[in-house]
Chain A
Amino acid sequence: MNIVVLAKQVPDPEAFVSIAGEGRSLEIEQKFAVNLFDEVAVEEALRLREKHGGKVRVITLGAARAIEVLRTAIAMGADEALLLDDEAFLEGDGTSTALALSRAASKEPFDIILAGRQAIDDDRGEVGPMVAQFLSLPHVGGIVKLDCDGGKAKAESETEGGHEVVESRLPAVFTVERGLNEPRTAPITGVMKAMKATILKMTPADLGLTLSEVGSLGAKVRVERYLAPRKRQEVRLIPGEPADAALEAARILVDVERVI
């Protein structure tokens, strides 16, 4: 079973993000991590390989430092890593990113594509379903359980207020939710191997794409400017004994804020 994992290097959730250049750009603290959902995707790919054999290929699109996510995946046990490596790939939207990733994934035959349900920087959650559509494949979103058998897979997702089990023909795309598995920590031998591993690189031309189809030029939505979120006023502490404070809080919520 050949599995492709789409993974992304993202700023650490704690990284400081501020608006620069009068809203035209962002300044982001240089602290990075593997997108937490993508780690789950790598883990699931490794488990599928352990059960069914085959190969795990990890693909990322990003600046040169994105290579770290690939090294992490190899250290965990992935077989191959591919970096879409060209300035032209950067600053894209969901569409141009998904188009490039779908082309890269289909460079070799595969049975399953796994991706995190969303990247925690852009928070789009678009790339998985879009890759599926570009490749005319089915997809199941936000899965918490996956079983493969022959040319079929059974996937379980959380719904609002329950669960649903979906059967899909393969090949298919699955986006994964936290809770699907507990990602392993890379063994030290894996880390050594990852440091020496060859990372394949591809350009838009390698994927049969023109510069106007990738990155910012290929994007169909554009950030006009960045805005600061609404800032809350300083907290108003409600003093008094618990019973008094609760009474006052009830009054404020009902009469002043009118939110109850």
Chain B
Amino acid sequence: MEKIVVFVELKGDRPRKASLELLSETRKVADSGRYEVEAVVLGPMSEGVREKLRLYAGRLVNITDPVLEAYTAEGYSQALSAFVAEEGAHIVAAGATRIGRDFMPRVAVLLSRGIASDVTDVRWAEEPFTVVRPMYGGKVLAQISFSGSPAVFTVRPNTFALGGPHDSAGQFLEKRAGISPERIRTKVIRVEEKTKGKVDLTEADIVVSGGHGMKAPENFKLLEDLAEVIGGAVGATRSVVDAKWRDHEDQVGKSGKTVSPRLYIAAGISGAIHHIMGMGTSKVVLAVNKDPNASIFKHADYGIVGDLFQVLPALTDALKKRLGK
């Protein structure tokens, strides 16, 4: 049987949603009988996380080492590539999160392989096995094949459906990486969590974004209220971030983040190509803009032509009632 190794990223005491999505998908694929899946956690892991993950993977491996206490690209890439080589895995996958995209290219080099980054589809059954990834900000897709084994790739969050835990727990194994501390030349000296507990933009199921049409920074309260009712994260366009109304980390678009939520609500956003490149793969898009000719409507499934200062509060109210909140 061919082995798939899935890197599971933890944030605080929880596995990242992107990792659970990947485990849900690979578990389904494993049921077909061709593959077996191993989930790998690098560094310290609580008992709670361990028990949760065992319900998502046939086998869970925790690789520990003093150098894996905090994330470093060098430590993670050395530990994961060594494990993959030892296991003779055919596929190594991770979520295309900040960390996944940061260290997986190094894993590929250490394994003398290539990598496909930020893929949005995997064609497991095809021969040869291929993945699909957007290029040119989503203007085209490229179907990619790999030469040699293992195939290394990262998957865009929200690509695969998140499945529930299984009834039976997988095996658990602990391993020591044994990496010499001199081989890690970066050190995390400070971490600032500004938005603890807030839904991360790239992993959010719902994103509510505002553009220049919001007119002033304080008006983003309207979006925050809506986001709170429907469990979404708030995004912004480049012009809003350039005007310093919102932080750069909220920026959706070419020079900001790429999001792919189930629902994207665009308020007062004209629909410049820079912005579309960051949200074009969203499943359902609702645009609110007073200009009926705004190009955002070309990239939306539903549109409301109207004054967002009236539409947004009305939408928040309507949804509050619908959801019984």
Docked Cα-Cα span, A187 to B114, in Å, equals 40
Number of chain A residues close to chain B: CB under 8 A: 83
Docked Cα-Cα span, A127 to B230, in Å, equals 38
Within 8 A of A (CB), among B225-280: 230, 248-249, 254-256, 262-263, 273-274, 277, 280
- Which of chain A's residues have a CB closer than 8 A to the CB of B108? 94-95, 126, 130, 220
Within 8 A of B (CB), among A213-260: 219-230, 232-233, 235-238, 242-243, 245-247, 249-254, 257, 259-260
- Which of chain A's residues have a CB closer than 8 A to the CB of B322? 250-251, 254
Q: Which residue of A lies closest to B191 (CB)?
A: A164
- Which of chain B's residues have a CB closer than 8 A to the CB of A149? none
- Is B195 in the interface zone, CB < 8 Å from A? yes
Docked Cα-Cα span, A100 to B11, in Å, equals 35
- Is B31 in the interface zone, CB < 8 Å from A? no
Stretch at the interface among B61-69, B172-180, B310-318: B310-318
- Contact (Cβ within 8 A) B303 A138: no
- Is A166 in the interface zone, CB < 8 Å from B? yes
Interface centre among A93, A132, A144, A250 (most CB of B within 10 A): A250
- Contact (Cβ within 8 A) B102 A129: yes
- Contact (Cβ within 8 A) B195 A17: no
Per-position binary interface string of chain B over residues 289-325, scored 1 when its CB falls under 8 Å from any chain A CB and 0 otherwise = 0001000011111111111001100110111001100
A contact residues vs B (CB 8 Å cutoff): 11, 13-14, 17-19, 26, 36-37, 93-95, 98, 120-130, 132-134, 137-142, 144, 154, 158-169, 172, 177-179, 219-230, 232-233, 235-238, 242-243, 245-247, 249-254, 257, 259-260
| 25 CB < 8 A contacts A-B | A13-B254, A120-B137, A123-B135, A125-B101, A127-B105, A129-B103, A129-B106, A134-B109, A138-B186, A161-B198, A168-B186, A220-B112, A220-B113, A225-B142, A227-B142, A228-B140, A232-B285, A235-B287, A246-B317, A247-B314, A247-B318, A249-B302, A250-B315, A253-B286, A259-B284
